[in-house]
Chains A and B, each alone.
Chain A
Amino acid sequence: MIENLPFLMVALFIAIGLYAVLFKTNLIKIVMGISIIESAVNLFLIAGGYIKGGIAPIYTSAPEGESMVLPTPQALTLTAIVIGLATTALLLSFVVLIYRHYGTVDSRKIRGLRE
């Protein structure tokens, strides 16, 4: 159980981020919650690629005979980080736009579209 601490941490971080998205009414905090979940999922992938005692999968001047960690999750995480960055930038732009029109970032007041 304690061996899987990184995976447990992932679940904890997702829980924290999800709490912000579900119960915080400030739009900026919702965006922050999404960012936290995103980091947690990235951590999940990276943790899945770890091998005990492994080194980075780069052959340049690497010590001989060491086992290397799995390279795929690192590539996936790189992709996921850039995607997360892009979504965060766009979400924040929308918040700016909402603030211009509504004059507030309280999600309870931003409900012109309903029913």
Chain B
Amino acid sequence: MITTEEFQTLLAPLAVLIPLFIAFVLPFLKKNDRLSHGIATAVAVIVEALVVYLVYSVWDRGTIIYVFGQKGATTSIPPGTGVPVRIMFEVDAMSSFMGLTVATVAMGASIYSLAFIKKHSGIEKYSSAMMLMLAGMLGLVFTGDIFNLFVFFEILSIASCALVAFRTKRWESGEAAFKYMVISTLGGLFLLFAVGIYYIQYGVLNIAAIASYISFTGMTRLNMIALAILIGVFAMKAGGVPMHFWTPDAYAVAPAPITIMLKTASLTYLYALFRTTFTLYSISVDVRTVGWIIIIIGLLSMFIGVTMAIPQHDVKRLMAYHAISQTGYMMLGVGVGMATLGTAAINTYGIKAMEGGIFHIINNAMYKGLLFLTAGALFYATGTRDLNKMGGLARRMPVTTICFMIGALAIAGIPPFNGYASKLLIYESVYEFNPYLAIIAMLVSILTLASFVKVFHSAFLGPDLPKYRKVKEVPTSMRVGMGVLSGIIIAFGLVPHLVVKYLVEPAAIALVDQAGYISAVMGAAPPGAHTAVSGGAIEGSFYGTLLTSSGNWNAIIGVIVLVVAFFFAKLIYSMGNPAYNKGTEQVKPFISGWKESSKSASHVRASNIYWGFLSSLSRYYRPLRRTHTGIVNDYVSWYILVTALILIVLTTLSFRGGVI
């Protein structure tokens, strides 16, 4: 009989193997669409349960190692050799945190899919590819072997490209899938090239072993080049500007549940980026240079992402640009952590900035997922993604409207939703690092709110358009899918201190703790490795208060203040003159003194909102728009250009700093 401890060790492999197994079974169920996707949904729920238990186990026991094929699965280094020889899963707090994010989103997406995909053929392939994506993402975050990481990278790329092309009838599908595929295949090949550099130098493929060698031998030019290539690949796959061009294409074209899986996949690549910089290199490199590279990519993503989002009128492209922009916050937070690594600052605001960035990962996965799902609901109900054609849908789709509002308020960082808590952590700690960065971050947040106001106004508010008279609220499974994510957002918003204490803080500390990661596999860490920082200075909570580096935030008090303010507003409102009478001339709209000729005449189209803003900034927008050419060669060109720049910066600056 299997013991509890053995079962805990087995959790991570099971979470990957079960979806894989089901993915292979599903093609047999060609005749029965409902059954095949029902099984997939059940598996997503099971995987979620396994991952939740895994998070607990890691919290309880520390890093869990699973060595494939080694008798007993725990001996990482066989006797008679000094290095690990087999593939292993190494799950520390950061990996399990990412696993939780992935599994939760996958659960929401598959529940949502139940009704969403009814109109299509080939459902068994769809469900099976979705299971492959789930397995690929979990494998990517759990694995402790760099070639295995490449394999999961490719599983994820290929399964997601296949799903991007799912609506073959529409002209965009092939184009978006091809562009995405070219970019991710090239990324995969350069990742493999970097793996080759490590293997040829050190003869090992285990991440901990490579990190140990790098830490032991110090930096070489080869390792620097490998680092630059890896930063390029993972930042590109995470959607970092200016390598983001594939993102809006793929996100907009894919079916909504797949879009949120793609979004989560980009977060796992972000995890891979952090794993590379923090675990593989850590303080062996010039941390300020690497940190600033991540910060600058993050800043560009934040700013260009949000400014490109404002003029969009395709609802999913708009949200895709926001996805890029939000990824920038995570890069900013964790980049500040990287830049302060090895100094005293990491113990104070450095780790707090990282917590903000990491907390933002799970928050972003939830609210961005919710927003994409509401966009999918709009598409399901109206058959278009064009905001100019929508209007007045709040009357027809109340649940979708409420879910959209929750998501929009969370993404804009309005208290008491979860986005506020993580953004507050980022603002305050980044302010201590460099005030200008924090100011840009806040500005981006304001622009985010502005563009969601635009979506809310043009899709949900406005007059009741005649062509949408027959639109109904979306089916139950889609509402449940959105409801699950909304519930998590509200819960995280109300108890951010608990989430930070039990999920985020261990993850941040595990990410910094290079020595711990190495010694879990190798038995001992080299003296140069970065050790854990104390989380003690940031002890989480008293009466539900989240402590940031220079302030605090109590969600309960925040809610009370909001409720009180609401009552005051109600009071003031009720003191006014109630002379508003329905059914009289009072309620009829007038346009410039004339009666409205039809409902669509008084409908403000999405492109007309903010036209003044856009036309006064046209000198900024014109070159920016011209850059987004949509030609696949240019996508690759930008990637190569950025990688070349990172290569130059890393090699020259580090030489000057005397690191090599």
A residues whose Cβ falls under 8 Å from a Cβ of B: 14, 18, 21-25, 27, 30, 34, 37-38, 41, 44-45, 48, 70, 72-73, 76, 79-80, 83, 86-87, 90-91, 94-95, 97-98, 100-102, 107-108, 110-115
Residue contact A115 to B636, C-beta cutoff 8 Å: no
Count how many chain B residues have C-beta atoms less than 8 Å from C-beta atoms of the other chain.
Answer: 47
Our pick among B172, B188, B193, B196 for the contact of A113 (Cβ within 8 Å) is: B172
17 A-B residue pairings within 8 Å (CB atoms): A21-B186, A21-B633, A30-B632, A34-B185, A38-B189, A45-B192, A45-B199, A72-B205, A87-B188, A90-B158, A97-B165, A97-B178, A100-B174, A107-B632, A110-B178, A114-B629, A114-B630
A contact residues around B253 at 8 Å (CB) = 113
* Interface: B560 (CB within 8 A): no
B194 CB to nearest chain A CB (Å) = 10
Chain B residue, CB-CB nearest to A73 = B199
Given contacts A25-B633, A107-B632, contact A72 B175 (CB under 8 A): no
Residue contact B182 to A91, C-beta cutoff 8 Å: yes
A contact residues around B188 at 8 Å (CB) = 83, 87
Assembly CA distance A86 to B421 (angstroms): 43
Chain B CB within 10 Å — which of A18, A73, A90 has the most?
A: A90
B85 CB to nearest chain A CB (Å) = 9
Assembly CA distance A34 to B187 (angstroms): 11
Residue contact A41 to B178, C-beta cutoff 8 Å: no
Given contacts A14-B193, A22-B640, contact A90 B633 (CB under 8 A): no
* Interface: B100 (CB within 8 A): no
B contact residues around A87 at 8 Å (CB) = 154, 157-158, 181, 185, 188
Our pick among B147, B154, B629 for the contact of A111 (Cβ within 8 Å) is: B629
Interface string of B161-198 (1 = CB under 8 A from A): 11001001001111111110110011011001101100
Assembly CA distance A23 to B636 (angstroms): 10
B contact residues around A80 at 8 Å (CB) = 192
* Interface: B337 (CB within 8 A): no
* Interface: B575 (CB within 8 A): no
Chain B residue, CB-CB nearest to A43 = B196
Residue contact A108 to B182, C-beta cutoff 8 Å: no
Residue contact B181 to A72, C-beta cutoff 8 Å: no
Chain A CB within 10 Å — which of B161, B188, B196 has the most?
A: B196
Chain A residue, CB-CB nearest to B148 = A79
Chain A residue, CB-CB nearest to B628 = A115
Residue contact A83 to B154, C-beta cutoff 8 Å: yes
A contact residues around B631 at 8 Å (CB) = 107-108, 110-111
Our pick among A14, A25, A45, A91 for the contact of B178 (Cβ within 8 Å) is: A91
Given contacts A21-B633, A98-B175, contact A30 B182 (CB under 8 A): yes
Given A37-B189, A112-B630, A115-B630, 9 additional A-B pairs, CB 8 A: A14-B193, A21-B636, A25-B633, A34-B182, A80-B192, A91-B181, A97-B168, A101-B174, A107-B631
* Interface: B151 (CB within 8 A): yes
B325 CB to nearest chain A CB (Å) = 16
Residue contact A48 to B200, C-beta cutoff 8 Å: yes
A contact residues around B154 at 8 Å (CB) = 83, 86-87
Our pick among A34, A86, A110 for the contact of B158 (Cβ within 8 Å) is: A86
B contact residues around A107 at 8 Å (CB) = 631-633
Residue contact B630 to A79, C-beta cutoff 8 Å: no
A6 CB to nearest chain B CB (Å) = 11
Given contacts A83-B154, A87-B181, contact A112 B172 (CB under 8 A): yes
Our pick among B157, B176, B205, B633 for the contact of A22 (Cβ within 8 Å) is: B633
Given contacts A91-B178, A94-B178, A115-B628, contact A44 B151 (CB under 8 A): no
Assembly CA distance A2 to B17 (angstroms): 46
* Interface: B242 (CB within 8 A): no
B contact residues around A72 at 8 Å (CB) = 199, 205
Assembly CA distance A80 to B193 (angstroms): 11
Residue contact A27 to B189, C-beta cutoff 8 Å: no
Residue contact A44 to B633, C-beta cutoff 8 Å: no
B contact residues around A14 at 8 Å (CB) = 193
B contact residues around A102 at 8 Å (CB) = 171, 175
Top 7 A-B residue pairs of the complex, sorted by shortest distance between their CB atoms: A114-B630, A111-B630, A97-B174, A48-B200, A94-B178, A98-B174, A101-B171
B169 CB to nearest chain A CB (Å) = 9
Assembly CA distance A100 to B200 (angstroms): 44
Interface string of B304-323 (1 = CB under 8 A from A): 00001000000000000000
Chain B CB within 10 Å — which of A87, A95, A100 has the most?
A: A87
Chain B residue, CB-CB nearest to A94 = B178
Given contacts A44-B196, A97-B168, contact A22 B178 (CB under 8 A): no
* Interface: B220 (CB within 8 A): no
Chain B residue, CB-CB nearest to A76 = B147
Chain A CB within 10 Å — which of B165, B178, B186, B636 has the most?
A: B178
Given contacts A34-B185, A44-B193, contact A90 B162 (CB under 8 A): yes
Chain B CB within 10 Å — which of A21, A23, A73 has the most?
A: A21
Chain A residue, CB-CB nearest to B174 = A97
A contact residues around B632 at 8 Å (CB) = 27, 30, 107, 110
Given contacts A37-B189, A94-B165, contact A79 B151 (CB under 8 A): yes
A13 CB to nearest chain B CB (Å) = 11
Residue contact A41 to B171, C-beta cutoff 8 Å: no
Residue contact B200 to A22, C-beta cutoff 8 Å: no
Chain A residue, CB-CB nearest to B199 = A48
Chain A residue, CB-CB nearest to B169 = A101
B contact residues around A83 at 8 Å (CB) = 151, 154, 188
Assembly CA distance A74 to B154 (angstroms): 19
* Interface: B637 (CB within 8 A): yes
Chain A residue, CB-CB nearest to B180 = A94
Assembly CA distance A34 to B178 (angstroms): 13
B226 CB to nearest chain A CB (Å) = 12
